[in-house]
Amino acid sequence: MTLQRSDRLAGARFERVTESERLHKVLSRAFSNLLMSTRPTRDSRNTESDPNAAPVPAATTPPPRLILTRDPQLSGVLLRRRDTGQGGPGAGLAQRVELVVSRSPIPVRSKADDLAYAKLRESEDSMFADNDSDSGAMSKLSQSRAGVSQAFRAALELRPTLDPSVPDDRSPDRPQTYSLWWRPLPSLGDDGTPVGAPPPPPVELMDRLVYFHVQMFDDSQMKDELAATWERDLPGYIQIEIETVEGLWRKWMFEVDWNNGSEARGANGADEESTEADNADTNQPNSPNQPANAGGGSPFNTGGPNPTPPKNPAQPGSGGNP
């Protein structure tokens, strides 16, 4: 029994190490592909040169593109590091990160992808029906999307978990564990109303976490809450610390990089922002934003956190913060 328990613990720790490496890659891709607003804060007319010009009206403030805040669905929940863990004792309130990226850091398959894929399959020559027609269709789908900028709003959220297959989870001395999810959200217009197609289902990134804490370096200090709409509002870097119930501890620092562009797009991919926004410069003016993988398997669990406890590398632009 002792040997079996040791094997089980070793296997669980190996799974957490693999998940942590995958999580690090996803977070690195996300924070190096932020999509910031191009909407001006005020009317672009120059009133300084014309004293008789009409007052400059304030422009509509678009929704923030990067938000770090306490998680309203886990209000008051305090996450604690283990006193005997590698990171030492520590605690922090449950947090939520919402962000807009120029391309999804994980494979996302949408209904639009399925329809486009089906049409390409139908157009395939019958002589290739039994010879890699799947890969041929997917290749054409990727080529048809090349150069089309996309915007993805999503949130990193914690949700309580309980694994009934592990008896220790039912012990009163066992800390509450959480799973970390990537939850796609509807794109928002300048007035904050949802636009576009419904988002794809959420994806579980890592489970059995007892600690997840995010801090952003801004104004020469580490902040537990922050909202950024324009590139000038971005933090210098982002620090994330996690710990699992098995005792695996990681502390990462991520560089921040961005593009400028519209979040709300029509069915044909056209921007719905103003002309000034359409003509705004970006850090990667000619770099194609590759689409999310519309086919193939994914190492992540898709679906969504239940209301009750359930059971392409990035191409950073030249304007990132140092």
What is the Cα–Cα distance from 156 to 180, expressed in whole angstroms? 7
Q: Write the pLDDT tens digit of every residue in 220-278.
A: 999 999 999 999 999 999 999 999 988 899 999 999 999 999 887 533 334 444 434 34
Ordered by start, the domain boundaries in the chain are 2-36+61-109+152-302
Mean per-residue pLDDT pooled into runs of 10, the chain (322 residues): 72 84 96 91 51 60 95 94 74 96 81 59 50 47 45 94 56 80 92 87 93 96 97 97 92 96 58 42 39 44 50 41 44
Q: What is the pLDDT of residue 109?
A: 61
The whole-number pLDDT of residue 239 equals: 98
- Tens digits of residue pLDDT in 119-147: 655 665 444 444 444 444 444 444 444 33
DSSP class per residue in 185-201: E-EE-TTS-EESSPPPP
The Cα–Cα gap between 249 and 88 comes to 10
In whole angstroms, give the CA distance from residue 61 to residue 244: 39
DSSP3 helix / strand / coil % (the chain, rounded to 5): 25, 30, 50
pLDDT of residue 4: 73
Rounded Cα distance between 155 and 223, Å, is 18
Distance of alpha carbon 198 from alpha carbon 169, whole angstroms: 36
> Token pair for residue 121?
């399959």
What is the 8-class DSSP label of residue 56? Answer: P
Rounded distance, CA 252 to CA 30, Å?
14
**Predicted local distance difference test score (pLDDT) of residue 163:** 58
Q: Which pLDDT value is given to residue 69?
A: 97
Question: In the chain, which ranges are continuous DSSP H helix?
Answer: 2-31, 111-123, 133-145, 275-278
* Local structure of 272: helix, strand or coil: coil
Output the six-digit token pair for 227. 């909202």
Rounded Cα distance, 38 and 295, in Å: 32
Q: What is the pTM of this model?
A: 0.68
